Amino acid sequence: MTLLTLRRVTTTAALLFTASTLPAQTVDHSAFDGLLKAHVANGLVDYDAFKASPVFAGYLRLLASTNPAPLPRAEQLAFWINAYNAYTIQLINTKNERESIRNVNKSLGFLKFKGPWSDPFAVVGGKTYTLDDIEQRTIRPTYKEPRIHFALVCAAIGCPPLRGEAYTGARLEAQLNDQAVLFLTKTPTKNRVDVATRTVYRSQVFSFSDYMQDFGGSEAAVGRFIARYYPAGPEKTLLESGEFKAVKTDYDWSLNSQSNGRRLGLLR
C-alpha cells in the first residue's frame, strides 16, 4: 500500500468515525404525524383513537428517551411543540376526561389539587415536566417565538386548532406562519376585524398570563402583529394604525374532541 493510498484510507475512516459519533440532527416524528393525519379533523381530536393506539404509546416512549438539547434550534422547537401537544392528549386520556381540560385535577372545596398544567407527568429525555414547564419555562424563554401560541394546543375548542401534522425543523417556519394565518384570519369567532366600527375582536390567547408581552406588550402592538398576516386592505391598515377598540372574544373551554365538535356544528 502506497503512502497516498494509506492517507486516503485513514481519511475515509476518520470521516466515517466522525459521522457515526456526531449527535443526530433530527428526531423522527413520523409516528405522531401519521396519528395526527388520521385522528385530527378540522383541528378536533379523536381522543379514543389516540388512547387505543400502540403507535402513540411508542411515540411517547420516544419523547421520554430523547434529549433535544443537541439538536439544531428549529429541530428543538419543533420537538418541544410536538411534545406539548402529544402530552396534552395523553393527559386528557390518562384522566379519562371528555368535557374540559379544566376538570383535570380540579380543586373541590377545601381540597386543593394540582391543575392540569402543574401535573408532573410529561417525560422528555428522562426528565419529568409539567405542561407549564414545557411552555412557560422551556419554550417561551428559550425560543422567544410568539407564534408558538398558535401551535401549542391546550385541548380546548377556544384554542388554536390542533395541526393535522407533526412539526418538523425543516418546515417549522412555514408551519408556524400557516398556523398564524389560520388562527388570526380564518377563525372569526376567535379573531376578526370590523373596520366599520374600528373594532378588533381578538382571542384571549393574547392575554392569558403575561402572553401579551410576547406580542409587544400593548393592544396596539398586538394589532401590528396580527396585521402581518392580513393582505393589503382596510383591515390591515386599521390593525397597523393602533387606533381601534380591542374586544376579547369568548373562550370556549369545552374539550376539542370530535364528538364536541359535532355537537357544536364544527364537524360533520
Each residue's pLDDT tens digit, 146-203 = 999 999 999 999 999 999 999 999 999 999 999 999 999 999 999 999 999 999 999 9
Distance spanning both ends of the chain, measured CA to CA: 73
Question: Between these two residues, 115 and 44, which has the higher pLDDT value?
Answer: 44
**Under 8 Å between Cβ of 151 and 179:** yes
Q: Tell me: the pLDDT tens digits for 116-128?
A: 999 999 999 999 9
**What 8-state DSSP symbol labels residue 205?**
G
- Kindly list the domain boundaries of the chain, sorted by start residue: 27-185+252-268, 191-248
In a 3-state reduction of DSSP, which class is residue 28? coil
Question: Between these two residues, 143 and 108, which has the higher pLDDT value?
Answer: 143
Assessment of whether the complete model's pTM goes beyond 0.95: no
pLDDT classification of 268: cutoffs 50, 70, 90: confident
**Under 8 Å between Cβ of 237 and 219:** no
